[in-house]
Amino acid sequence: MRRSSIVFLILAAASIAGGSGLAVGRSNYPLPTWLSAVLPAMADPGHASAAQTGPIIYYRDPDGAPKYSLAPAKTSSGKQYLVVKSSEDVNFEEVPESVAAKGAEPGRIKFYRNPMGLPDTSPTPKKDSMGMDYLPVYEGEQDGDSSVKVSAGKLQKAGVRTEAAELRTLNTTVRAPGTVQQDERRVSVVSLRFEGFIDTVADVTTGSQVRKGQPLMRVYGPNLSSAAAEYLSVLNARSDAGIGGQGLKGARRRLENLGAPDAFIADIERTREIPVYLNWPAPQDGEIVERTAVNGMRAAPGDILFRIVDRGLVWVMVDVAERDLALLKVGQKVVVRPRAYPDRLFTGKIAMIYPNLKPETRTARVRIELPNPDDVLRPDMYADVEIATGAETPVVTVSSSAVIDSGERQLVLLDKGDGRFEPRAVKLGRRGDGRVEIKEGVAESDKVVVSANFLIDAESNLKAALKGLDAGGKP
């Protein structure tokens, strides 16, 4: 874009937006703060040529105030505004740099375009409704190349910076609060399969730690004693002609169906006697979290007398936001920091990602398995969870600021050298640590624009639009 057209656009925009100090025609309009800072530098007499040449671009305040006009004007004290021609200000070129770079001859004009960027061209010089001259478009200024060329001065003023795409390992940390829960697979209950009577209960209470096989209570059951007597009878008569191995097996199976422990059956076989009471053992290691058994009580089949939980391994249940689900997978390592022990870190792994989301919070339930060797993690404790995501294989990455994302397209601007930039469509991947993975479009060591890229993108879009106008004007 020619710089004269930029000034016209700025002045026109300022007349609409408002601010402090802009005079358009014979009227004063306020000038926006950002424009007040830009235009005085552009109109600095120190940048003027030795002689003023070219058409008049605009008029500026003679006292150096940030006031400008598109037509002759006067200050409040009666002083005439100073003329600013194309040879002054920011060195308006009669021939665009892109034309000079290609060696095209000055004066070979293809057509004239609207100075305000409207979709209107003319084969001959003309003015628009505001009296502004149409701008010439030279041969070589538009070509089939999608790149744009920007002068070194413009790059410096705009603050354009470039960085090389590089291979990096992207690791994104997903953080979420969680609660400690007991492992459902490590819970067991003690109940009888027959009607029995509890003679005495061992010296264990809720909260006591027990070992597998440790006696919990002494039980008497009529049905159990009857089955034990039958088994003993078969044992004593197994050498008789009418008793075979099948009868012994059936009698033992009846005891097993009533839940008789192996130690109880072994005592019958060893002593050839029927025990009056049965010492009922703990089915697993763990903590007694429920006890309903009391001395002398009658217990019906299925009554829960004890509940035992093994907390050597616990669960941490976490609600993860829907947007982070794609980053998680079963087996990933997790760091858990219980709020009760902020100075201790526990390491576990993701065991399950539940299939359903909570519609109220748009979160997914994630289950983490966590070793608890010291038994310090208790159910319903709060914990802060950190899940490190990402592959260990390095991928091509660029700074997040390098990506121009309009929603429908994602692109970066490649630095081709000598002030030339090319827009390149890219396919994005994971994000993390201020960088984004580039799956397609950019290779390692390619230089991309990471600052002021939207200005170059605007130049590229304007070039494409003018190219379309040029093509549309052909018969």
Strands, E assignment, 54-120: 56-60, 68-69, 82-85, 109-113
Residues 385-404, buried b or exposed e (16+ Cβ, 10 A)?
A: bebebbeeeebbbbbebbbb
Task: List the chain domain ranges.
Answer: 3-85, 97-138, 148-169+394-472, 175-184+311-389, 192-303
The answer to whether the predicted template modeling score (pTM) of the entire model surpasses 0.85 is no
| Intervals of the chain under pLDDT 70 | 1-51, 66, 86-108, 116-119, 138-151, 154, 239-244, 391-392, 453-475
CATH number corresponding to 148-169+394-472: 2.40.420.20
d(CA 439, CA 428): 6
Q: 37 is written with which tokens? A: 């800072």
Helix/strand/coil for 150? coil
pLDDT of residue 368: 96
Write down the residue that tokens 């997790």 correspond to: 334
pLDDT 10s digits, 182-208: 999 999 999 999 999 999 999 999 999
pLDDT of residue 314: 96
pLDDT of residue 140: 56
pLDDT 10s digits, 364-414: 999 999 999 888 999 999 999 999 887 668 888 888 888 888 777 888 888
pLDDT of residue 367: 97
pLDDT of residue 161: 83
Helix/strand/coil for 348? strand
CATH number corresponding to 175-184+311-389: 2.40.30.170
Q: Comparing 148-169+394-472 with 192-303, is the CATH topology the same? A: no
CATH number corresponding to 192-303: 2.40.50.100
Q: 366 is written with which tokens? A: 């994630």
- Taken in order 189, 190, 195, 200, the sign of the CA dihedral is negative
